């Protein structure tokens, strides 16, 4: 019997989407933007001390190999020829910092994740060295001095890890964010791997001048970072190198396929949502929550706690576009916390069912400041609180309050963005895994009091990386001309409560946020030692009592 004929499709483009919680590989039809197949692997996070968040770079790399292999197998089962994959894009969690040995290909320490807080004292020491009337760090980078960005994480590694110090001295060390680690590894690693990053990821390191689009000598001197370990900075859409498949990977058909797109995950989502016009904005709901507004070819500096960042540069000879960004540290991570730490749900999807049972938080407010508060506060001393508890409160109310917290945090960002831009958004475009939760989307529309618009295909981060890869010079299988971009069907959520109720709930949330601040001293956030219990008696006992109450009621079956 003759073999089944392979399906004939337009050129295909693959996208590695490496996030904080999971890795995925997705394959799109470049002519229709249709998602043909994908595979996802969850990634472990390690918490060696209070406030520390790490991941294993080798586990991240292996998860990429596994996702590529499984997706190629699925395409084969669909009778789709994987030799049609003409390019691969990379999208990644930003700011997460890796240092590795260029001779062996081995990481010299775990990846220090963007959420990590160990560098708070480093930030405070450096802050004292910035003149009050000339914040040259912010004027060059668009970023506040914070634990969030890569420079201070790299400084910590250089100060505290002997293997890193030795490798730098012996000229064996390479630094990169996750995109650099993956591209170097996928293009050969120790055997000729390409050490590069793109402008969007570089703009999140705090070492990159967003005006000149180069590593900044003054910034590197300020943070005492050797420039020789930094990757080459490229545009977001060009051929960086060709895939050299690991011996462990069966998908050998991808050998020699160009890696030609690279965007930090939030920039990738902006491209995937086709926010190419000045003033267009999108909000992505992942581990954190990130609202970006395209400000065109000009840098707009915020007076209300937002970041100025590089949105994209889609080609070596193409102009750079900028964005204002509001960053929320904890969004989907709060659902994972309810699942893994409190055990009140078994799967992340259950949160919608619990919230639906009650339809209200019944006056319970949850501020998930597990890593301090990011925009618009930039307050590292904040910690998570649940307040407004009564004997009536049960796990359904806590679940509802967790979803509301994501929406309230987005409202704070949107308010800041409206004040900076001067033209309030008429609707909010959304994407990310959490947008599958219809209660969350309706709550978001109610709390913002504007419509929320969600594309029918929510994988816009991967789509953006695929678009950049397919449009690169030398690939040319994806047109970014407005008339050629595929129309996307949208689901729309309209506000269903009155404006007065929305404002009352929001003002109560703001009251809860104020109560979350000032819990932590520098010593407790850095040391991870028992002194935290001495320095924070009130916060510790409130949270402990809440957890014990929930635990007891959960066990007894009354929760």
> Could you tell me if 265 and 355 lie in one domain?
no
- CA 464, 470, 471, 477 torsion: positive or negative? negative
In a domain, 76, yes or no: yes
Q: Do residues 404 and 416 make contact, with C-beta atoms less than 8 angstroms apart?
A: no
Q: Kindly state whether residue 497 falls inside one of the protein's structural domains.
A: yes
Q: What is the pLDDT of residue 555?
A: 34
Task: Output the pLDDT for position 250.
Answer: 53
391 and 495 share a domain?
A: yes
454 and 492 both lie in a single domain: yes
Q: Is residue 278 part of a domain?
A: no
How far apart (Å, rounded) are the C-alpha atoms in residues 24 and 265? 12
CA angle 484, 489, 491 (to 5 degrees): 150
pLDDT score for 371 = 82
Give a yes or no: residue 100 inside a domain. Answer: yes
Are the C-beta atoms of 30 and 470 separated by less than 8 Å?
yes
3 found inside a domain: no
User: Do residue 496 and residue 389 come from a single domain?
Assistant: yes
**Tens digit of pLDDT for each residue in 489-526?**
778 899 888 888 888 889 899 999 999 988 876 544 44
Residues 349 and 455 occupy one common structural domain? yes
Residues 150 and 60 in one domain: yes
Q: What is the CATH number of the domain that holds 225?
A: 3.30.420.40
User: Percentage of the chain surpassing pLDDT 90?
Assistant: 49
399 shares a domain with 366:
yes
Looking at 246, 273, 300, the residue that finishes a domain is: 273
Assess whether 183 and 329 both reside in one domain.
no
Same domain? 341 vs 232: no
Which residue segment(s) compose the domain that 149 sits in?
Answer: 12-273
- Nearest C-alpha neighbor of 287 from the set 42, 490, 543, 544: 42
Q: Do 128 and 260 belong together in one domain? A: yes
Is 125 within the bounds of a domain?
yes
- CA geometry: angle at 156 spanning 129 and 383, to 5°? 85
pLDDT at 264: 95
CB contact set of 176 (below 8 Å; sequence gap of 6+):
98, 100, 184, 195, 197, 231
Closest Cα partner for 465 from 232, 182, 212?
A: 182
**Which of the residues in the chain have pLDDT under 50?**
1-3, 251, 523-559
pLDDT at 548: 41
What is the pLDDT, as a whole number, of residue 404? 92
Domain count, the chain: 2
Q: Is residue 213 located within the same domain as residue 129? A: yes
Domain co-membership, 343 together with 421? yes
């Amino acid at each position: 019997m003759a073999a089944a004929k392979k399906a004939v499709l337009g050129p295909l483009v693959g996208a590695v989407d490496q996030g904080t919680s999971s890795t995925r590989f997705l394959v799109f039809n470049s002519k229709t933007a249709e998602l043909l197949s994908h595979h996802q692997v969850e990634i472990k996070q390690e918490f060696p001390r209070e406030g520390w968040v790490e991941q294993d770079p080798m586990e991240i790399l292996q998860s990429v190999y596994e996702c590529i292999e499984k997706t190629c197998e699925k395409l084969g089962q669909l009778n789709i020829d994987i030799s049609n994959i003409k390019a691969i894009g990379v999208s990644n969690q930003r700011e997460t910092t890796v240092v590795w040995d260029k001779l062996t290909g081995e990481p010299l320490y775990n990846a220090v994740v963007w959420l990590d807080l160990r560098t708070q004292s480093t930030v405070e020491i450096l802050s004292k060295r910035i003149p009050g009337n000339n914040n040259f760090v912010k004027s060059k980078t668009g970023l506040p001095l914070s634990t969030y960005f890569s420079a201070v994480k790299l400084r910590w590694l250089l100060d505290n890890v002997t293997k890193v110090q030795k490798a730098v001295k012996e000229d064996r060390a390479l630094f990169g964010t996750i995109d650099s680690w993956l591209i170097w590894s996928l293009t050969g690693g120790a055997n000729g791997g390409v050490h590069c990053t793109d402008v969007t990821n570089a703009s999140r390191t705090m070492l990159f001048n967003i005006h000149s689009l180069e590593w900044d000598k003054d910034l590197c001197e300020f943070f005492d970072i050797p420039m020789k370990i930094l990757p080459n900075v490229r545009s977001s859409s060009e051929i960086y190198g060709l895939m050299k498949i690991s011996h462990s990977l069966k998908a050998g058909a991808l050998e020699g396929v160009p890696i030609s797109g690279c965007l930090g995950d939030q920039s990738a989502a902006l491209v995937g949502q086709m926010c190419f016009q000045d003033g267009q904005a999108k909000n992505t709901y992942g581990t954190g929550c990130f609202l970006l507004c395209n400000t065109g070819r000009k840098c707009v500096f915020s007076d209300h706690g937002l970041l100025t960042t590089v949105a994209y540069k889609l080609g070596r000879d193409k102009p750079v576009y900028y964005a204002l960004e509001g960053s929320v540290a904890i969004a989907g991570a709060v659902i994972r916390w309810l699942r893994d730490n409190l055990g009140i749900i078994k799967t992340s999807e259950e949160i919608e069912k619990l919230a639906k049972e009650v339809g209200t938080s019944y006056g319970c407010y949850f501020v998930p400041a597990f890593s301090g508060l990011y925009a618009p506060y930039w307050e590292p001393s904040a910690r998570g609180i649940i307040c407004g508890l009564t004997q009536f409160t049960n796990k359904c109310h806590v679940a509802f309050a967790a979803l509301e917290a994501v929406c309230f945090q987005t409202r704070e960002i949107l308010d800041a963005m409206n004040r900076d831009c001067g033209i309030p958004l008429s609707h909010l475009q959304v994407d990310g895994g959490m947008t599958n939760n219809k209660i969350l989307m309706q709550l978001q529309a109610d709390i913002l009091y504007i419509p929320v618009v969600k594309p029918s295909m929510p994988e816009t981060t991967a789509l953006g990386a695929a678009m950049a890869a397919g449009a690169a010079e030398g690939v040319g299988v994806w047109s970014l001309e407005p008339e050629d971009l595929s129309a996307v069907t949208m689901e729309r959520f309209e506000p269903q409560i009155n404006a007065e109720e929305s404002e009352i709930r929001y003002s109560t949330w703001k009251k809860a946020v104020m109560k979350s601040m000032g819990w932590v001293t520098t010593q407790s956030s850095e040391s991870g030692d028992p002194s935290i219990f001495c320095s924070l008696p009130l916060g510790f006992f409130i949270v402990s009592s809440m957890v014990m109450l929930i635990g007891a009621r959960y066990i007894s079956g009354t929760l």
